[in-house]
Amino acid sequence: MSAIATKYEVVVGLEVHAQVLTQSKMFCGCSTDYLTAPPNANTCPVCLGLPGSLPVINRRAVEATIRTALALNCEIPEFSKFDRKNYFYPDLPKGYQISQYDLPFSRRGHLDFDVRGAPCRCGITRVHLEEDTGKLLHEGAIHEAQSSLVNFNRSGVPLMEIVSEPDLRSADEAREYVMRLRAILQYIGVNNGDMESGQLRCDANVSLRPAGSSELGTKVEVKNMNSFRAIHRAIEYEVVRQTEVLDSGGRLTQETRGWNDARGLTVSQRTKEFAEDYRYFPEPDLPPLDVSRHWVEEIRAGLPELPAARRERFVAAYGLTPYDASLLTSTRPMAEFFEETVRLGGPAKASANWILGDFSRLLNADHKEIQESSIKPTHLQQLLHLVETGGLSGKMAKQTFDAMYHAPDPAPALAEAKGSSQISGDAELAGLVDQVIAENAKSVADFKAGKEQALKFLIGQAMKLSRGRANPQRLDALLREKIV
Amino acid sequence: MKLFHRTIRDLHQMLRDREISSVELTQSVLDQIQAVGDRTKAYLLVTKELALRQAHAADERLRSKRDVRPLTGIPIALKDVLCVKEVASTAGSKILKGFTPPYSATVVERLEAEGAVFLGKTNCDEFAMGSSNENSGYWPVHNPWGLDRVPGGSSGGSAAAVASGEAIAALGSDTGGSIRQPAALTGIVGLKPTYGRVSRYGLIAFASSLDQIGPMTRDVVDSALLLQAIAGHDPRDSTSSPKPVPDYLATLGDGVKGMRLGVPKEYFVAGMEPAVEQSIRDAIRLLEQQGASIEEVSLPHSDVALPAYYIIAPAEASSNLARYDGVRYGYQAEGARNLIEEYMLTRQQGFGAEVKRRIMLGTYALSSGYYDAYYLQAQKVRTLIIDDFKRAFTKVDALLGATSPTVAFPLGAKTQDPVAMYLNDIITIPANLGNVCAISVPCGLADGLPVGLQVIAPGFREDLALRIAFAFEAATEFHKAQSPLMGAAA
């Protein structure tokens, strides 16, 4: 890669589509639940584009878009409007998509992130709002299918498009950018970050240019990347492919290519030599919007602590490394898990290590998010306490965590660990008992005189010496044996 | 006089007094449809069973004196561009053949709430594109005043139905004159409300920024009554205005005394028939005699209204009509081998020539590289026309002119010349582009065919337009003239 990097500069811009978490669709009252509802159950004349139906703007979706734009440091113009993007496709029931063309809700922002500790900034061109399409289901492979079905449950679901400037210079930067962006969207509660189900989708515009040049090369749009890994691999693949074309004296064509994850390569989908003409024009069914400054400030005031701020706070307050803090704040649930564990008494450094180490490893293997695990902060904190108090070896702790993770309820595994860390063996306890008897002659005498209370005191002393690990029942028995 | 000859107001009184029942009234109108329907061809669908069912329900309401409204029990025809739940609604197009919407337009719901009776869906130019009704995807409509003549368009079926006694009143839609011009050509009253006054929800769209639904009636009182029932804000139409709706009847009889009425010199266009011009001049003099002061005004951009309209309306239409692709409802061509072919065959076979012409015009006007020169330029012209009206209305209260430069022309006379056909709307189009309201009221006959006087009032001043039209009507007998088809039955 480094040899290539010296010859050509990689230029990447990303277009991220994020479904807005609203109860109802963008322009009608239908539910946005399209994943679990039966096909076409959540539809109405508006989202089916029936003749005569008219759209009505969902204010919450607009609010979420402005919220996102503010979190990305964008300007919010006072005047905005919707436009029609015209094209024919069976998943597009009106023959046009209501989108935003020249006056989006926001423009000119930026997103800060870092790649292995080095700070990066990527410009945000715009964040705009549009409606999602329906979904086609083909009978077999698309080119051979004898019939296709359309499910319009997704039609009209609000979709934000977040367009970056071509500021990214490597697959690493692109991946980090999307990770950070995803975290922000989750933090501010506008998107669930699910890439696999397509609720967060990413297209990349990739081009190369001779190092030192300021002109942009021919760009290739890469689609169908539904994981961070896919984004990284697809861009790396494109860089190598485009380098080979250029090195062999060839010319690149402006085209759209699809990432095939299984085969690990991009495949040409359509060339853009004949640029598609979407015939944008202002949506006459929706009056333009005045975005009041008061409303914008209200939305700004409601923004939660964003990942960058939280990361700095983690470094300052908990003494974490910037790298660990960065990882911990990459998702809001993970950051909250960490803070809750610490609040319950877990040591910060150890909590971070466990979350980023074993816990993340297990979650990744299962493609699960931290909030989906049965392990809650209290469980981790209790486990850490057992380790800290010395009763549980590192090896035992790992085994316990593994058991906790795989059980639907972590409590039994935790209890077992507590049990196993108890000193019950008479041989080990004998020494403790001898020491207590030797050091507390008065109490021993009292007990002999019939004061039951004195025995309780002696057991307490033994527990203290064992740092809570001795089995109190066995202590009781041994003390009675030895004193009498 | 038969029941179908009467006005809404008369019939309402008779229904209230239990002199007649809505079923009798409805049957009278249905009989007239039976008698003359195959000569006018005004209806695409007569909903006889629905009408009688609604008439029975209205009679129940009238009997129990429960929630009796001015339209309770009144038989009304609906232009086919209006969606009625479970009733075939095709916008006069073959591409929507067999389409029965699962919902009703807001205006339809409002009329239902009033207890009105729906006679059926009236014929119209396909997707409301036309000025003669000859662009219907099904069959042309014949003018009850002369069956070899066009009734005007696009709401020709509604106009012919009201003029022939096949409906007491009707709803039409007006994008560039489609209510007023056929009203003028069939001797009835047609009102185009201000854009935003009446909800468009459920109106099959032609040009979204211009379409308005409005009443087509026997006289001005009926026009006010019907507008009262359908006007007002609708949360389902974001372009509908929240402005309160005034009581139109309250000011109807206030007269024109002291009013300043302007006559735009540009509205006496080249090609206007002398007999039409004479009728209009006479009508203006009559209003002057009623106490209005008349002055000539200028709307300097009137000559570019037509070209601007033929950019904006087709541009919006090209997008609005994209949904008719055969995938989900309506007509689907057979024999297509792939998706693109299915789109092309369906639209080739489903749309008529005029609709295709406008889709092509609009697609071209919106294309990249042409957008600025056409669509954007036309929008700028629209602003100039809006300003023309604003300026005129600082000097005068309302404007007067002809509705159509000609009387009803023979069927087939202009079908070969689209531009000659477009010129029919030259004096009606500015009101749509200018966000004002306008009414056409009968003002005489020329060679036995009706002429309409157009009264244009500022935006949301339907009260004013109605008041001036009523003052004219009250002083004349023109609105009482009956078409031969209607009169024959008397």
CB under 8 A, 24+ apart: contacts of B275-278: B275/B407, B275/B446, B275/B447, B275/B451, B276/B402, B276/B404, B276/B405, B276/B406, B276/B407, B276/B446, B276/B451, B277/B402, B278/B446
B328/A93 Cβ within 8 A: yes
Q: CB contact, 8 Å: A29 with chain B?
A: no
Q: B367–A277: do the CB atoms touch at under 8 Å?
A: yes
Percent of chain A residues topping a pLDDT of 70? 96
Tell me the average pLDDT across B227-248: 98
Average pLDDT, chain B: 96
Determine how β-strand A148-151 pairs with β-strand A106-115.
unpaired
User: Does pLDDT of B331 surpass 80?
Assistant: yes
pLDDT one-digit tens code per residue, B197-230? 999 999 999 999 999 999 999 999 999 999 999 9
Whether residue A279 and residue B201 make contact (CB cut-off 8 A), yes or no, is no
Helix residue ranges per DSSP H, B369-488: 377-395, 418-422, 429-433, 462-474, 484-487
A183/B393: higher pLDDT: B393
Write down the pLDDT at residue A1.
45
Whole-angstrom distance, CA of residue A330 vs CA of residue A318? 17
- What is the Cβ-side half-sphere exposure of residue A112, based on CA atoms within 13 angstroms? 12
Q: Do B200 and A54 touch (CB under 8 A)?
A: yes
Give A 128-157 residues with CB within 8 A of chain B. Answer: 150
- Position A97 pLDDT exceeds 60: yes
Please report which confidence band the pLDDT of residue A434 belongs to, taking 50, 70 and 90 as the band edges.
Answer: confident
Q: Would residue B154 show up in a list of annotated catalytic residues for this protein?
A: yes
Out of A94-103, A114-123, A420-429, pick the least confident.
A420-429
Q: Which segment of A311-315, A480-484, B216-220 scores lowest on mean pLDDT? A: A480-484
Cα separation, B160 vs B122, in Å, equals 9
Segment B139-173, tens digit of pLDDT: 999 999 999 999 999 999 999 999 999 999 999 99
pLDDT grade, residue A3 (50/70/90)? very low
Compare CB distances from A84 to B81, B96, B319 and report the shortest one's residue.
B319
Mean predicted confidence (pLDDT) in A97-123: 93
Dihedral sign from CA coordinates of B323, B324, B325, B331: positive
Give residue A133's pLDDT band: very low, low, confident or very high (50, 70, 90): very high
The reported pLDDT for the residue numbered A484 is 72
Residues 6+ apart with CB under 8 A from A416: A400, A403
pLDDT digits (tens, 9 = 90+) for B250-301: 999 999 999 999 999 999 988 899 999 999 999 999 999 999 999 999 999 9
A27 touches chain B (CB under 8 A): no
pLDDT band at A17 (very low <50, low <70, confident <90, very high): very high
Per the CB < 8 Å rule, is A86 touching B319? yes
Judged by CB atoms closer than 8 Å, whether chains meet at B323 and A93 is answered as yes
Looking at residues A320-341, what average pLDDT do you find? 91
pTM score of the predicted model: 0.88
* Mean pLDDT over each residue of chain A, to the nearest integer: 90
How big is the A-B interface in CB pairs under 8 Å?
A: 100
Judge: A52–B201 Cβ closer than 8 Å, yes or no. yes
Quick: pLDDT tens for A374-398. Answer: 999 999 998 888 887 766 777 788 8
A287 touches B: beta carbon within 8 Å? yes
Q: Do A52 and B329 touch (CB under 8 A)?
A: no
The domain locations on chain B are 3-260+395-487, 304-377
Which residues in chain B have Cβ-Cβ distances shorter than 8 Å to A94?
A: 322-323
Encoded tokens for B250 = 């309250």
Does A210 contact chain B (CB < 8 Å)?
no
Query: Among the options B164, B178, B240, B404, which is catalytic?
Result: B178
- At residue B305, does pLDDT exceed 60? yes
Task: Give the tens place of pLDDT for each residue, A44-79.
Answer: 999 999 999 999 999 999 999 999 999 999 999 999
pLDDT (tens digit, 9 = 90+) per residue, A351-367? 999 999 999 999 989 98
Give per-residue pLDDT as tens, A230-267: 999 999 999 999 999 999 988 998 899 999 999 999 99
Give the sign of the dihedral formed by CA A65, CA A70, CA A73, CA A79.
positive
Residues from chain B that touch A277, judged by Cβ atoms under 8 A, are: 367-368
pLDDT of residue A465: 79
Examine the pLDDT at A273 and tell me if it is beyond 60: no
pLDDT band of residue B424 (cuts 50, 70, 90) is confident
Question: What pLDDT score does A2 carry?
Answer: 46
* Residue A84 forms contact with B (CB below 8 Å): yes
The conformation of residue B420, written as its DSSP 8-state character, comes to: H
Has domain A426-483 been given CATH number 1.10.10.410? yes
Name the catalytic one among B104, B132, B154, B440.
B154
Residue B356 DSSP symbol: H
Q: Which residues pair with A203 in a beta bridge?
A: A15
Q: What is the pLDDT of residues A331-350, one digit of tens each?
A: 889 999 999 999 999 999 99
- The CATH superfamily holding the domain B3-260+395-487 is Amidase signature (AS) domain (3.90.1300.10)
Taking contacts as CB-CB distances below 8 angstroms, the residues of chain B near A53 are 103, 201-202
- Tell me if A94 and B83 make a contact (CB, 8 A cut-off): no
E-assigned strand segments in A187-300: 200-210, 220-225, 255-260, 265-271, 281-282, 289-290
The predicted structure's pLDDT at residue A6: 65
User: Is B490 exposed, middle or buried (CB count within 10 Å of its CB: 0-12, 13-18, 19+)?
Assistant: exposed
Calpha distance B456→B193 (Å, rounded): 10
Sheet containing strand B189-192, strands side by side:
B43-46, B117-122, B75-79, B169-174, B212-217, B189-192, B437-446, B449-457, B398-402, B260-264, B293-297
- Of B467, B458, B451, the closest CA to residue B435 belongs to B458
* Per-residue model confidence (pLDDT) at position A104: 97
| Residue of B91, B208, B368 lying closest to A51 (CB–CB) | B91
Q: Report the residue of B90, B107, B201 to disrupt the A interface, i.e. the one with the largest count of A CBs within 10 Å.
A: B201
**What are the extents of the domains in chain A?**
13-205+273-298, 305-420, 426-483
Assembly ipTM: 0.96
Percent of chain B with pLDDT over 70: 99
% of residues, chain A, pLDDT over 90: 61
